[in-house]
Structure 1
Amino acid sequence: MAKYGEGDKRWIVEDRPDGTNVHNWHWAETNCLEWSRSFFNKHLSGAVVLAGEGNLFLNIKRIEKVDGEAYVNVRKGKIIPGYELSVSASWEGEAKDSEGKTLLKAEGLVEMPYIADENAGEDPEIRFSVKDEGPIGKTLKEAMVAKGKPLILEKVRVYVEAMAKGGPCKDELEAKKVAPKSAAAAAKQEGGASPVVTAAAAEEKKKKKKKEDKKGFKTITLTEKFNCRAKDIYEILMDENRWKGFTQSNAKISREVGGQISVFDGSVTGTNLELEEGKLIVQKWRFGSWPDGLDSTVKLAFEEPEPGVTVVKLTHTDIPEEDRYGNATVAKNTERGWRDLIFHRIRAVFGFGI
């Protein structure tokens, strides 16, 4: 299988001077690796395997890594998923006697070295290990194999089915299918207004929105509240070890103005422009899938209206409408990433809910 972004050039339509995508012939490719990490974290982290059966308690602790590649190609509405992943998770167990006294607490690993689209109809290999190889530790491991393996395989099947339907592109593809019907229905409800008129109004709204952004680029604005001090959120976003903790991916973050940053395993790189502890972070950001030479600007402003409550205002400007592969959901995916992979994960890991 070809590496992400290195497809056969015969399938790639060169850019035309008029910018036209003739018959949508070229591939629209979406990188799904971060979405895949989020998927496995959501479906497996914290999953209960046994809750007292045979005086055993087992659960999957967290996803330790999701490495490899995952993407979805869409051409003329046809979805072509591609993925080769290595997934590992930690598990923990406890054995008690008949009186409820703990006999042993043990930890171990679950490893799936190869989940791939070419084996989509087959269950992947799953390896189980335990740190304590004593009799009780082995009993916990055997119970994990017996009860945990079916649960894990079921979640893998859900992942395979989700990728077959478009992964993170599914909602957009579904919206395109129902859009014409919805427009006609809305027109009918409003007294038989022509779908053409409705389309014209939508186009006018679209043009108005474009005036707000630089041509060919978009802006994201989000406001999030956290139940903590502003300095706590600032520290989490500027500390590479904490980034690794809530995203389950590698990060390198300079704490100096002019210093370099690299997050999500190098998928995002940039530079610190302004830093004011507990108040402001301004950085240049670019994704590896963007056309060369394009950088966006991230501004995170922190306000603390009352002690223990922090409001984070995000403004992410100069996001290109399309990536280098013709994928036109860059802004949508970026907004989803901020919300689901950063802000929501911080709440989940550090408990700063509102």
Structure 2
Amino acid sequence: MAKYGEGDKRWIVEDRPDGTNVHNWHWAERDCLEWSRSLLSSLLSNLTLLDGEGDLVIRTKTLDKLDGEAYVNVRKGKVIPGYELSLSLSWEAEVRDSSAAKVSGTLEVPYLADENAEEDPEVRIIVRDDDGPVGRRIKEAFLAKGKSLILEKIRAYVEAMAKGGPAKDELETKKAASASKTSAPAFKATSASLAAVPEKKKEKKKEKEGFKTITLTERFYCRAKDMYEILMDENRWKGFTQSNARISKEVGGQFSIFDGSITGVNEELQDGKLIVQKWRSGSWPDGIYSKVKLIFDEPEPGVTIIKLTQTDVPEEDKYGNETVAENTERGWRELIFHKIRAVFGFGI
């Protein structure tokens, strides 16, 4: 791992307030499917669509199904939403007359997509177990009075995606930072403050050589296979680190990340479950390799726990700095795991 505060910026990845992407990597993508599910559920569930006009009452119940994909790309500060969704919503109706009939059904939107953002999507009303006069009457009232409110709520979702979806707050923060003309990112200040630490310890001229072990446990709100794919995909590495990467997906294959400052070899790979790598920083003494083991556990769908163990980390790099383990742990936490959460939205 490159040294903090000594001019080697290969390990430092910054959130640039001016919007500039390092190495011309001009995009960042965030998965918005779960965010979309949450927003559409809050917009469409438990709505009173008709009450007080005649003897009919129609209310929606829950968002029962949402399929497809939704994401937001941010390119040079411009928001580019993408989504192709289909959804199903349950509803119930009551006729408050002598019959006191109750009818239920589903509302379907078979295709909601960014390419048709300027148009209202098709809305289908399905009446369950009542094809008679009452069912037909409720369906006609739904289409005449309730459909417009459904479309209004869907337009609110479309507008939210156009503004950046879950990435909106981050974009506004970056714009505010740019307006205030911050002279240096927070992480750069942190790295600068750490630069003095190796110098103080160098004065002790400690010559004893040894190794340390790093352990981390991180939680992400996604599937285990998604985290595995991100960590093994070089294009996604380029996206969330804004640095060059080459990553083999084969056992025995080599990898190079953070512009080549970290290199190694894949020793064991189990899709969505395990990554074991022979791993070293270019600043370490020649021939020294650590062993990185990442175990992926999914205790429940959509929640992934990653347990990282990195053994044989040298206490001292080839320049005499004795903060190798501390800097390596900080790099994993701040430059990899935190960045993945920020870009892909797995911390929401």
What is the TM-score with the length of structure 2 in the denominator?
A: 0.54
Q: Which amino acid aligns with 2:134?
A: I
The alpha-carbon distance between structure 1 residues 323 and 58, as it changes in their structure 2 partners (threshold 3 A), is farther
**Structure 1: runs of 5+ lacking an equivalent:** 1-16, 185-194, 209-213, 222-263, 271-285, 301-313, 337-354
Find the residue that maps to 1:176 and give its secondary structure.
helix
Structure 2 residue 104 is matched with structure 1 residue 107: yes
The alpha-carbon distance between structure 1 residues 298 and 70, as it changes in their structure 2 partners (threshold 3 A), is closer
The answer to whether the 8 Å contact 1:62/1:90 transfers is: yes
The alpha-carbon distance between structure 1 residues 27 and 134, as it changes in their structure 2 partners (threshold 3 A), is same
Aligned to 2:60: 60
Task: Tell me the distance in 1 between the aligned counterparts of 2:193 and 2:86.
Answer: 42
Task: Tell me the distance in 2 between the aligned counterparts of 1:142 and 1:330.
Answer: 46
Aligned to 1:128: 125
**Higher Rg:** 2
Task: Tell me the distance in 1 between the aligned counterparts of 2:40 and 2:93.
Answer: 20
Describe the superposition over 1:66-125 as per-residue Cα deviations: whole angstroms up to 9, x where unpaired: 10111111122121111111111111110111xxx5521111111111111111111111
Aligned to 2:173: 175
The answer to whether the 8 Å contact 1:32/1:72 transfers is: yes
Q: Which amino acid aligns with 1:333?
A: G
Aligned to 2:161: 163
The alpha-carbon distance between structure 1 residues 72 and 93, as it changes in their structure 2 partners (threshold 3 A), is same
Shift of 1:179: 2.3
Task: Tell me the distance in 2 between the aligned counterparts of 1:182 and 1:322.
Answer: 24
Task: Tell me the distance in 2 between the aligned counterparts of 1:27 and 1:200.
Answer: 21
Shift of 1:220: 5.8
The alpha-carbon distance between structure 1 residues 46 and 89, as it changes in their structure 2 partners (threshold 3 A), is same
Task: Tell me the distance in 1 between the aligned counterparts of 2:193 and 2:107.
Answer: 48
Q: Which amino acid aligns with 2:223?
A: V
CA RMSD of aligned residues (A): 4.1
Aligned to 2:227: 287
The alpha-carbon distance between structure 1 residues 104 and 151, as it changes in their structure 2 partners (threshold 3 A), is same
Aligned to 1:203: 190
The alpha-carbon distance between structure 1 residues 315 and 113, as it changes in their structure 2 partners (threshold 3 A), is closer
The answer to whether the 8 Å contact 1:44/1:62 transfers is: yes
What is the TM-score with the length of structure 1 in the denominator?
A: 0.54
Task: Tell me the distance in 2 between the aligned counterparts of 1:205 and 1:299.
Answer: 39
Q: Which amino acid aligns with 2:115?
A: E
Task: Tell me the distance in 2 between the aligned counterparts of 1:130 and 1:205.
Answer: 65
Q: Which amino acid aligns with 2:93?
A: G
The alpha-carbon distance between structure 1 residues 200 and 62, as it changes in their structure 2 partners (threshold 3 A), is closer
Task: Tell me the distance in 1 between the aligned counterparts of 2:116 and 2:168.
Answer: 21
For residues 1-354 of structure 1, the aligned pairs below 5 Å read: 18=10, 22-97=22-97, 103-131=100-128, 132-181=130-179, 203=190, 219=218, 268-269=223-224, 287=227, 290-292=230-232, 293=275, 295-296=295-296, 328-330=340-342, 333-336=345-348
The answer to whether the 8 Å contact 1:48/1:58 transfers is: yes
The alpha-carbon distance between structure 1 residues 103 and 298, as it changes in their structure 2 partners (threshold 3 A), is closer
The answer to whether the 8 Å contact 1:88/1:109 transfers is: yes
Task: Tell me the distance in 1 between the aligned counterparts of 2:345 and 2:194.
Answer: 21
Aligned to 1:8: none
**Structure 2: runs of 5+ lacking an equivalent:** 1-8, 14-20, 196-213, 233-274, 276-293, 309-331
Shift of 1:206: 9.6
Task: Tell me the distance in 2 between the aligned counterparts of 1:335 and 1:95.
Answer: 45
Report how many aligned residue pairs link the two structures. 228
Q: Which runs of 4+ in 1 moved over 6 A?
A: 204-208, 314-317
Identity of aligned residues (%): 47
Task: Tell me the distance in 1 between the aligned counterparts of 2:61 and 2:219.
Answer: 34
Aligned to 1:261: none
Shift of 1:199: 5.4
